[in-house]
Structure 1
C-alpha cells in the first residue's frame, strides 16, 4: 500500500505537467478546429529556450519557463498569421499535411542549429526530496507540478473572466456571430494558437530539471499528449486536466506491475477502450 500511495503521488505530480502541455493542443483545436500534430515540437523548442537561458544567462529553468512561454507564443502568433490561417477553411487533409510538415521543419531546424547531443541542466534542488510522512516528494516534480497548477489557474481565469477569453470562446462557438458582434476572429485565432503552443513550451521548460533536451524529444510526448486530450475530450480544457492526471497516475502505478518498458501498456489499452466506448472522451460532449 505504501508503494501504491507513492506511485499515485508521483503520478499526480507528473500528470499535472501532462495537463498543461496538453491544454495547448486542446485549446488550438477548440478555437481553430485544427489538430496540431506538431504541438510536441513546440514543447521541444521551449525546452531549448529554457536550456539556453540557463546556460548563458544563469536563469533557473523554472523561471526560464516564463521566457520560453513568451518566445514560443510570439513564434506561434507569427506561424498562425502566415501559415495556419491559410488552411482554416481547407480540407482536413491540408491541415494534417501542414502540421506534419511542420514537425519535419522544426526538428531538422533544431538539429542543424543545436546538434543532436543531449543537454541537461544542473540545479541545487535537482536531487532533493521532501518527506511527507512515509512518502517522499521529489522536489523537481513538485516544482513543475506547482508551476503547472499556477499556469492552469491563470488560463482558467483568462478564459472565464477576461474580455479576450470570452471573445475567444465566442469565436470558438460561432466565428461568424463573433464577427457580427465586433470581435476580430482572426486575432482570436492568432491569440489561441500562440497561447496553445506557448503552454506546451512552458510545460517543457518546467520539466527540464529532470529531463534532457534534444531535437527529437517531442516524439516521446506526442502520443501522450493525444492520449490525454482523447481521454479527457478533445476541445475540453477541464478534460485535459482530468486526462493529464489520469495518464500520469496510470503510467506511475503500472510500473508496480509491469516492467518499465511496458509502463504504457495499460494506458493504451484504456485509450483504445475509451475510443471504442466513449469517443467524445470523459469530459467531452457529443455533437
Structure 2
C-alpha cells in the first residue's frame, strides 16, 4: 500500500486518539479515586454534546468558546450529583455506585430519546471546511484544533493532580483512603471533586468533538467502549496510560478502517481489549496487584 495513504491514516488516527485520551482521562480519574467504573460516562458525554449543540444553535456560541461554559457546568453537575445522590445512595459501598451509575446511564439515555428523539445532529461553523496540509495529507482545521486542545487540557489536568493541594488530596485518597481520612482529609468531598473533574473532562471533550462529530441519544455508546479500552490498555488509574492508550486506540481504529473498511474498523479496538485482558490485565502502565 502507498506510504502516503499509510501516513495519512496514521495522522488521522493520532488526531482522533487525542480526543479519546481526554474522554478516557476522566474515566481513569474516577476509577483511580473511587475504584469503580463509571457506567454513566458515555451518557454524560452525550448530554454534554447536546449542551454544546444547543449553545451554538440557540445562542450562537462557538463550540470552542463553549469550553468556558461546559467545563464548569459539567464539573458542578458531577460534584453535586455525587454529593446529593450517588454518595448518599451508595452508603459507602463501591458496588452500589456501579449500580447507581448504570441506572443513571439508562435513565439519561431514555430521557434524551424522549426529548431529543433519535435523530443525529451535526453543527457547521465557518472553519468547518478549512483544510490544512499536514505531511502527506490534508486535515480539517477543527481536527487539528481539537487534538491540540485535548493534549493541552490533559497536560493541565496532570499538573493540577501533581502540583495542587487538591490534587495531592486526590492522590492520597486514591492510594489509601483510610489513611487520608486519619490525617484530616475530607474523603467524601474528594470523591465528589473527583467525580466532578471526571465529568468536566467530558464537557471539554464534548466541545472538541462537536465540530468533527455528530450527536444523538446513543452517541455515548460509541465512546464508552473506546474509553474503557483506553483505560484498560494504559492501566487503570494511570494518566500517562490514558494518553498513550488513547493514541494507540486512535491509530488502531484508523488503520482498521483503512484495511477492513469503515464499518469494521473498530474490530481492532475490541481485539486490543481482549488481548490486554488476557496477557496484561494491569495495562501498559498500571500497577500489578
TM-score, L = length of structure 2? 0.95
Whether contact under 8 Å (1:46, 1:69) holds in the other structure is: no
Shift of 1:166: 0.6
In structure 2, what is the Cα distance between the partners aligned to 1:271 and 1:107?
25
5+ long unaligned stretches in structure 2:
none
Select 1:282's aligned residue among 281, 284, 287.
284
Contact between 1:123 and 1:209, CA under 8 Å: does it hold in 2? Answer: yes
Distance 1:88 1:277 in 2: 35
> For the structure 1 residues 264 and 117, does the alpha-carbon distance in structure 2 shift closer, same or farther, using more than 3 Å as the test?
closer
Superimposed CA distance per residue, residues 96-146 of structure 1 (whole angstroms, 9 cap, x where no aligned partner): 321111111111222233333222211011121111343222211111111
Residue by residue, what CA displacement relative to the aligned partner does 1:49-99 show, whole Å, maximum 9, x if unpaired? 11111112211111113322221111111111122213263252x333211
Classify the secondary structure of the residue corresponding to 1:7: helix
Per-residue deviation, 1:252: 0.5
| Number of the residue aligned with 1:211 | 213
* Other structure's SS at 1:131 match: strand
CA distance in 2 between counterparts of 1:14 and 1:132 reads: 15
Distance in 2, Cα, partners of 1:181 & 1:97? 31
Q: Distance in 1 between matches of 2:94 and 2:16?
A: 36
- Distance, in Å, in 1 between the alignment partners of 2:115 and 2:245 is 34
Is the contact between residue 45 and residue 220 of structure 2 (CA under 8 Å) also seen in structure 1? yes
How far apart, in 1, do the equivalents of 2:4 and 2:68 lie?
A: 36
Please give the alpha-carbon distance, in whole angstroms, between the structure 2 residues aligned to 1:182 and 1:199. Answer: 28
Residue pair 1:49, 1:64 contacting (<8 A) in 2 also: no
- Whether contact under 8 Å (1:31, 1:171) holds in the other structure is yes
| Residues 1-287 of structure 1: pairs in structure 2 closer than 5 A | 1-86=3-88, 87=90, 89-90=92-93, 92=95, 94-287=96-289
Matched position secondary structure for 1:130: strand
Give 3-state SS (helix, strand or coil) of 1:209's partner.
coil
- For 2:132 and 2:124, locate their aligned partners in 1 and report how far apart those are by CA, in whole Å: 19
Q: CA RMSD in A?
A: 1.4
CA–CA distance in 2 between the matches of 1:276 and 1:217? 28
1-structure distance, mates of 2:72, 2:48: 9
Please, which runs of 5 or more residues in structure 1 have no aligned partner? none
Summarize the Cα distance change of 1:183–1:96 in structure 2 as closer, same or farther, 3 Å threshold: closer
> Does the Cα contact within 8 Å between 1:72 and 1:197 map onto a contact in 2?
yes
Cα offset for 1:236?
A: 1.0
Structure 1 residue matching 2:260: 3-state secondary structure = coil
* Conserved? CA contact 1:29–1:36, under 8 Å: yes
**How far did 1:224 drift?**
0.8
Contact 1:46–1:65 at 8 Å: present in 2 too?
no
Deviation at 1:19, TM superposition (A): 0.4
